[in-house]
Amino acid sequence: MAYDRNNIFARILRGEIPCKKVFEDSHVLAFHDINPQTPTHVLVIPRGEYESADDFAAKASDAEIAALLRAAGRIAREQGLAETGYRLLANHGRDAHQEVPHFHLHIFGGRDLGRMVAKPAG
Ligand code: AMP
């Protein structure tokens, strides 16, 4: 599947849609999630055109991969989460309910996050 240049995060990267920026460098942009699930909920995205975690892991350069993880750690620290704890999460594809087809890492924190993933309903 070809990368969709009109996805919402591509538009944020081009400055067509505003975001509440928390960090940027030459490889990475990070901003607050518009619908936060936790007191702190930040999205960390590569500037490059990668559709998903699978795409990013397979095709991004070592420098891009390192920059993203370093940025996530730095942001979590700066948001005061390193002491109390936080969760990094990347949804890939249908079973993970990925909504936006531009790879992103969620940083969740600011409250007890429970353990791992939700149990199936029923
Ligand atoms: P995912 O299900 O992993 O693809 O998550 C996509 C995330 O993007 C959701 O948590 C949305 O709330 C968030 N989101 C969608 N549009 C925007 C936007 N314009 N600014 C910030 N976050 C957004």
Distance 27 CA to ligand 1 centre (A): 19
DSSP string of 31-72, one letter each residue: EE-SS-SSSEEEEEEESS---SHHHHHHHS-HHHHHHHHHHH
- Which helix (H) or strand (E) segment holds residue 9: the answer is helix 8-13
- In this prediction, residue 1 carries a pLDDT of 67
Mutation probe of ligand 1 site: the residue of 14, 21, 33, 50 with most atoms within 8 A of C-beta: 33
What letter does residue 75 receive in the DSSP assignment?
H
Pocket test of ligand 1: the residue of 6, 17, 34 to mutate, having most ligand atoms within 8 Å of its CB, is 34
pLDDT tens digits, residue range 15-65? 999 999 999 999 999 999 999 999 999 999 999 999 999 999 999 999 999
